[in-house]
């Protein structure tokens, strides 16, 4: 039950020859097996398997998932009709269907996840979704995380680790989206006073009501995100900004280790800045083509049609979203910039976009 949120199937003409070649290869393999021919290696990409984008809040994960859906579809892998956050027990329609049967969450969550994977795989669709863990890690009654990860590994799941490598941008996003907050973390652009209590939490439903998409209902998360970007700037504490950035680097270095503990191997770690570079500058198209090629390979796509990848990127935002200097987005830019420039760590200094 529940409404479908997946992408509409789309066939890429550019991939037609490749699809025909795959079909011919499958026919040859089937004939060889029927005749008892030994020594044939199993195909590396044998059918639908979970394809997971390991991401964190403010890692552009929704955008990455949308583009991945398109590119997987263009390579003959129809994405499943699953939610953007299929690992969130409160958004997964299969899990909620089990809850509706009266099952406790520690039974409903693993049962619903298994049903999702079974049904979508049986229908010939790839479950392409974000492996965002906060939803079920904060669910105290959802059962063992290791059991769920073990089941995914047994099903042949492929994963890619995508993260925001510019820690300054990531922390600013976390503040703008109110995932973390402290006094004066957001200030009004027009007068420089504290806006945090107004634009975060329940008060934001009233303060940002004019940004409601339909003009009637209370503003959605996306409405509030747009409003906060238009109305506020981010404020950091210059005294500890370098320490905050250093902690972010440590956090990022631990992400692959977590995937390995869960049993995943052979995955790529890709900065979202590489994936999105084509949007920021037309000169960076090939950087993004290479990054998306690596992402698809990490998800188990063996034969990448880079022409199709390049065409898709050129048709979706190529050069349309240049990055703004931090002076445009940080309230106390001069103080924060001075602290970052004084860091002996070149990586920390590289986070700052000046001019």
Averaged pLDDT for residues 33-59: 62
Averaged pLDDT for residues 180-186: 86
Q: Give the C-alpha separation, 200 to 224, whole Å.
A: 9
Using one digit for the tens of pLDDT, what is the confidence trace for 137-163? 666 666 666 788 899 999 999 999 999
Sequence-separated (6 or more) residues with CB below 8 Å from residue 352 = 168, 326, 337, 340, 341
What's the pTM value of the predicted model, to 2 decimals? 0.83
Is the separation of the CB atoms in 242 and 336 below 8 Å?
no
Is the separation of the CB atoms in 326 and 349 below 8 Å?
no
Q: Report angle CA 294, 89, 247 to the nearest 5 degrees.
A: 55
Using one digit for the tens of pLDDT, what is the confidence trace for 79-138? 998 888 898 888 899 999 999 999 998 889 889 999 999 999 999 999 999 987 666 666
Dihedral sign, Cα of residue 291, residue 296, residue 300, residue 305:
negative
Reply yes or no on whether the pLDDT at 171 is more than 50: yes
Q: Domains for the chain: give ranges and CATH numbers.
A: 47-165+244-314 (3.40.50), 168-241+324-350 (no CATH)
Token representation of residue 138 = 């904060």
């Amino acid at each position: 039950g529940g409404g479908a949120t997946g992408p509409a199937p789309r066939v890429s003409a550019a991939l037609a020859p490749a699809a025909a070649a795959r079909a011919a290869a499958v026919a040859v393999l089937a004939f060889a097996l029927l005749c008892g021919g030994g020594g044939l290696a199993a195909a590396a990409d044998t059918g639908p398997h979970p394809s997971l984008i390991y991401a964190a809040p403010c890692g552009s994960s929704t955008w990455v998932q949308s583009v991945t859906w398109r590119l997987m579809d263009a390579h003959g892998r129809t994405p499943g009709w699953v939610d953007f956050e299929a690992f969130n027990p409160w958004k997964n329609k299969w899990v909620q269907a089990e809850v509706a049967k009266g099952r406790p969450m520690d039974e409903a969550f693993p049962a619903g996840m298994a049903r999702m994977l079974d049904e979508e795989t049986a229908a010939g669709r790839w479950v392409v979704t974000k492996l965002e863990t906060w939803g079920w890690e904060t669910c105290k009654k959802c059962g063992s995380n290791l059991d769920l990860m073990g089941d995914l590994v047994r099903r042949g799941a492929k994963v890619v680790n995508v993260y925001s490598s510019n820690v300054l941008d990531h922390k600013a996003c976390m503040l703008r989206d109110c995932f973390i907050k402290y006094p004066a973390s957001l200030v009004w652009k027009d007068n420089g006073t504290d806006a945090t209590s107004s634009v975060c939490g329940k008060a934001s439903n009233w303060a940002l009501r004019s940004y409601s998409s339909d003009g009637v209902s209370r503003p959605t998360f996306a409405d509030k995100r747009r409003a906060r970007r238009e109305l506020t700037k981010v404020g950091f504490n210059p005294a500890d900004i370098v320490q905050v950035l250093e902690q972010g680097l440590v956090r990022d270095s631990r992400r692959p280790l977590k995937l390995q503990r869960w049993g995943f191997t052979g995955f790529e770690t890709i900065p979202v800045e590489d994936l999105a570079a084509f949007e920021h500058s037309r000169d960076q198209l090939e950087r993004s083509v290479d990054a998306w090629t690596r992402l698809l390979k990490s998800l188990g796509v063996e034969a990448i049609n880079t022409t199709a990848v390049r065409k898709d990127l050129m048709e979706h935002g190529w050069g349309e979203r240049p990055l703004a200097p931090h002076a445009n987005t940080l309230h106390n830019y001069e103080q924060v910039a001075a602290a970052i420039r004084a860091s002996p760590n070149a990586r920390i200094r590289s986070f700052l976009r000046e001019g």
